[in-house]
Structure 1
Amino acid sequence: MAPPFPPAEPEAGLDEAAVRRLVHLFYARVQKDALLGPVFGGRIADGAWPVHLQKMCDFWSSVLLKSGRYEGRPLPPHLALGADAGEAHFARWLALFRPTALEVLPPAAAQQAIAHAERMAHSFRLAIAFHNGEDTTRIVPFA
C-alpha cells in the first residue's frame, strides 16, 4: 500500500551540488574564523579535512535532501570538546552558518537548513550542559 502522501520534492535548485557548496563555503569560513578556526584546526588535521567535509556533505544531504547518506552520531565528538563547545562557540557557528545558507541555498531550503542548525545547536548545548552536570533549565534557544 502506498503512503497517503508522497515524499516532498526538494526545492528547485536544491541538489547535491548546492549542499556541497554550502558545506565547503561554510567550513572555509569556519577555518578562517578567529574563535572557531583554532577549535576545528586543533582537532582536524590538514590532511583530514576532505574526509570531514565529505561527512558533513553526507549529513546535510540527509537533512535537506533526505538522502539517508549520513551514518553517524554527531553528539559524541561535541561532548568531547569541553570548554571549546560553549555558548560563544555555538553562537559564532550559527552566525557563520546563517548567512552562508542564505547565500548558497534557495530561499526555502536556506530557511530549512537554518532552522535545523538552530535546533541542533540548542540540542547540543543542552546535552553538553547535562553531560557536564550543569543546570539546563536556563538554556534558551538562540534567537
Structure 2
Amino acid sequence: MKGRPAPKRSPQSSIVIDGKLLPDVLDEAMIRAVVFGFYDKIREDALLGPVFNGIIAAKDWPVHLEKMCAFWSATLLRTGHYEGRPLPPHLSIPELGEAHFQRWLSLFRATVERLCPPEVADLFLDRALRIAHSFRLAIAFHRGEDSMQVLPISRQALS
C-alpha cells in the first residue's frame, strides 16, 4: 500500500492526562526548571526551609533534586524514570502540618505560574494538589487522627 508516511509525533503528544493531550511544550527541561526553581524557594522559606534543610544535608541536595525531576517526569511525562516511594519520608517528619502543606502548595503554584504556560502550570498544580491531599490523608491516618476531617486544599485557598 502506498501513501505518505505518518507524521512524526513528539513522545508526549500521545499522552492523555485528565482527558486532554499533554502539551508538547512540557518536556524534561521544563520539569527541571520547575523542580530547581521550586526547591530554591523552599530552601529559603522561613517555614519550610528549616524542615527541608534539617532533613536533607547540603551535600545531598543534588541527589534529591534529581530524584524530584525523575518523580515529575514519571508523573507528567509517564517516563518511568522515578523509582521509589515518596510518602514514607514525609511520614517521619513529626512537625509536618497543615501550614507546611499550604505554604508548599503556594510556593509551588507561584513557581509553575512563573515558569510555565498556563495549561502546563495547571497540570503541575493539579497533580501537586492531589499529591498533597493524599499525603495529608496518609499522615493523619499514620498519626491516628481522623482522616475524614482532612479536606482537599483548593487553588483558591492558596496565596
Describe the superposition over 1:79-121 as per-residue Cα deviations: whole angstroms up to 9, x where unpaired.
00012x1000000000100110111122212101101100111
Q: Which of 62, 69, 79 is the equivalent residue of 1:67?
A: 79
Work out which of the two has the higher radius of gyration on C-alpha atoms and give 1 or 2: 2
Q: Secondary structure of 2:149's partner?
A: coil
Stretches of structure 2 lacking an aligned partner (at least 5 in a row): 1-13, 155-159
- Paired residue for 1:117? 128
The aligned counterpart of 1:90 is 101
Deviations 1:33-78 (A, max 9, x none): 0000000000111110000000000001111111110111000000
- Per the alignment, residue 106 of structure 1 pairs with 117
Partner residue, 1:3: none
In 1: Cα distance, 2:15 partner to 2:39 partner? 30
In 2, are the aligned partners of 1:31 and 1:41 still within 8 Å (CA)?
A: yes
2:137 alignment partner in structure 1: 126
In the TM superposition, structure 1's runs of 4+ consecutive aligned residues that sit over 6 Å from their partners are none
Name the residue aligned to 2:37: 25
Aligned alpha-carbon RMSD (Å) = 1.1
Q: Give distance in 2, aligned partners of 1:65 and 1:119.
A: 17
TM-score of the superposition, structure 1-length normalised?
0.92
Cα distance in 2, alignment partners of residues 72 and 102 from structure 1: 27
TM normalised by structure 2 equals 0.83
Asked if the contact 1:64–1:109 (Cα under 8 Å) also holds between the matched residues in 2, the reply is: no
Count of matched residue positions in the alignment of Structure 1 and Structure 2: 137
Larger CA deviation: 24-33 vs 63-72: 63-72
In the alignment, does 2:48 pair up with 1:54?
Answer: no
Q: Distance in 2 between matches of 1:135 and 1:28?
A: 34
Report the counterpart of residue 35 of structure 1 in structure 2: 47
Query: The residue matched to 2:81 in structure 1 has which SS?
Result: coil
Q: Higher relative contact order at CA 8 Å, sep ≥6: structure 1 or structure 2?
A: 1
